[in-house]
């Protein structure tokens, strides 16, 4: 299938990724394996992880891709695969998934959208997001204004915030 996805090189994206079993707590029980998978993928295919929330079933994250790179799909495939391979094989695998050599851990699809405006990022970061952007991350090498320099936000609009 050809899904309509935003493919903006160097963009900032919000993702929601779900488990196949929506009642499972696999992500929080195996958060160390998830962290290891994401770290390995980030070393091989860099991206800036601006924020992330890991809940028992879904995870939400905000990434900024490098200039000239829009391939978040590869990164998610590698993260899902690495995480899945690190877990014991005790889930129920449908015939459809078995035919494609898939595990029954993740939903096949995920939700993503391009974050184009600072106000959108603040909504996704929730309460405290503005303070996070304005001060806390400067000391960690993340410049809040750089987040949007590659996401089609006119400089004049950004300076007005």
3-state SS string for 126-161: CCCHHHHHHHHCHHHCCCHHHHCCCCCCCHHHHHHC
User: What tokens were used for 95?
Assistant: 């015939």
Instruction: Name the residue with higher pLDDT: 159 or 28.
Output: 28
Instruction: Give per-residue pLDDT as tens, 95-127.
Output: 776 676 667 788 878 889 888 766 666 665 665
Tell me, yes or no, whether 2 lies in a domain: no
Tell me, yes or no, whether 111 lies in a domain: yes
Instruction: Give per-residue pLDDT as tens, 45-97.
Output: 999 998 888 888 888 888 999 999 999 999 999 999 999 999 888 767 777 76
Given a contact cutoff of 8 angstroms between Cβ atoms, the answer to whether 103 and 83 are in contact is no
Given a contact cutoff of 8 angstroms between Cβ atoms, the answer to whether 50 and 64 are in contact is yes
pTM comes to 0.71
The pLDDT value recorded for residue 140 is 39
Beta strands of the chain (E only): which ranges? Answer: 12-19, 48-54, 59-64, 106-114
Given a contact cutoff of 8 angstroms between Cβ atoms, the answer to whether 62 and 53 are in contact is no
Rounded distance between C-alpha atoms, residue 35 and residue 56, angstroms: 14
Tell me, yes or no, whether 146 lies in a domain: yes
The pLDDT value recorded for residue 37 is 96
Tell me, yes or no, whether 3 lies in a domain: no
pLDDT at 36 over 90: yes
Q: What is the CATH number of the domain that holds 74?
A: 3.30.70.1290
The pLDDT value recorded for residue 127 is 55
Tell me, yes or no, whether 6 lies in a domain: no
The pLDDT value recorded for residue 128 is 53
pLDDT at 136 over 50: no
Domain that holds residue 140: 12-160
Helix (H) / strand (E) containing 119: helix 118-125
Least confident among 1-5, 12-16, 62-66: 1-5
Tell me, yes or no, whether 64 lies in a domain: yes
Tell me, yes or no, whether 51 lies in a domain: yes
The pLDDT value recorded for residue 41 is 97
pLDDT at 38 over 90: yes
Tell me, yes or no, whether 22 lies in a domain: yes
pLDDT at 141 over 50: no
Count up the domains in the chain and report the number.
Answer: 1
Given a contact cutoff of 8 angstroms between Cβ atoms, the answer to whether 120 and 11 are in contact is no
pLDDT at 34 over 70: yes
Task: Assign 99 to helix, strand or coil.
Answer: helix
């Amino acid at each position: 299938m050809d899904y309509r996805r935003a493919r903006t090189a160097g963009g900032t994206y919000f993702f929601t990724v779900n488990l196949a079993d929506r009642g499972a707590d696999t992500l929080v029980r195996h958060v160390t394996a998830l962290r290891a998978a994401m770290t390995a993928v980030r070393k091989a295919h860099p991206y800036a992880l601006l924020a992330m929330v890991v809940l028992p079933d879904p995870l939400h994250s905000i990434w900024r891709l490098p200039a000239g790179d829009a391939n978040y799909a590869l990164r998610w495939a590698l993260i899902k695969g690495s995480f899945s391979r690190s877990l014991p094989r005790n889930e129920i695998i449908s015939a459809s998934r078995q035919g494609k050599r898939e595990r029954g851990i993740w939903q096949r699809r995920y939700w993503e959208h391009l974050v184009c405006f600072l106000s959108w990022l603040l909504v996704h970061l929730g309460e405290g997001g503005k303070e996070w952007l304005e001060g806390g991350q400067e000391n960690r090498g993340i410049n809040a204004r750089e987040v949007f320099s590659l996401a089609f936000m006119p400089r004049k609009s950004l300076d007005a915030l």
